Structure 1
């Protein structure tokens, strides 16, 4: 003969039972809270971005860009990429990932390649910057630019300025001695169109011409 459950056990079980209505009401409450909080957070960020920059947050940058001397007062938080594109109109360097992972923003600082999206403009004070706009000489294409055209090393062209600047650095760093070393040296520059075969051929071709000059 089966005994009836103990009354205390029944009470304990019932305390853990949640109805479908309870779940739905709880989910609705969470959704309301989230939807209410997001506009407030977005508004706060927008308000902070709209605040005027005090003189204490700016700095004077004295630099040479593509052979021209500049004295520029910049917000200390400004990236080199934003300075080039938004202040100086040098839009060759592209904003791709804005996290230093795609290489589209590559420029040269004192001959060394850097991701301009991760570099504060204040850091180039006293240094020389070269962008794709300053690579040609007196209107003549740089050997790397010409090689990219000759070997069809581009498709959409968005990554091409960064690819070319990185390729120039690759040769100058002595990394264009083999296909394997070129691939390793250029691994930080992504081409979403997949023009890697042409890029490799262009670098190998331009490297020979660059060594002659």
Structure 2
């Protein structure tokens, strides 16, 4: 924990399939941990996402933890698409400093209850490294409900593990001729890869 922020409104994050129960249910399909549930974003949900992005831009970016980083520039709501893997990711905030980059993510506290929750952050960092052609060794996560900052070290071994999983996804056909896949709740999301991390 490295800091706290002021008052804010809690916003929802996209649901990621990375519970161990989900992996067992879907027989360890390699697509599952990386595909966000496909939902129509309309009405209130669209407003909620807009408010979350606006809150990050106007409030979280002014937090003392961010200000203490001595940044040159802040980028918000950055979408990164990989050329190596069938994946893309959203980075809430990217802190650009003279010698490095620090990605920042706003998450719900229960995000930590997810199986392999750090894998999502590592995956986003790997895609960001490819996009920026730079090495990134840490990320900051702000947990919304308790206003807690956590600095995550991203180790080379974690990046290698993610790359191995992503390579397995690349080897799989986009649509499988399989009864399990036909009845899978995620078949529509699979059909529109690249999936979101």
TM-score (norm 2): 0.28
Task: Decide which structure has the larger Cα Rg and report it.
Answer: 1
Determine which structure has greater relative contact order: mean sequence separation of CA pairs < 8 Å that are 6+ residues apart, divided by chain length.
Answer: 2
Bigger strand fraction: 2
Bigger helix fraction: 1
TM-score (norm 1): 0.27
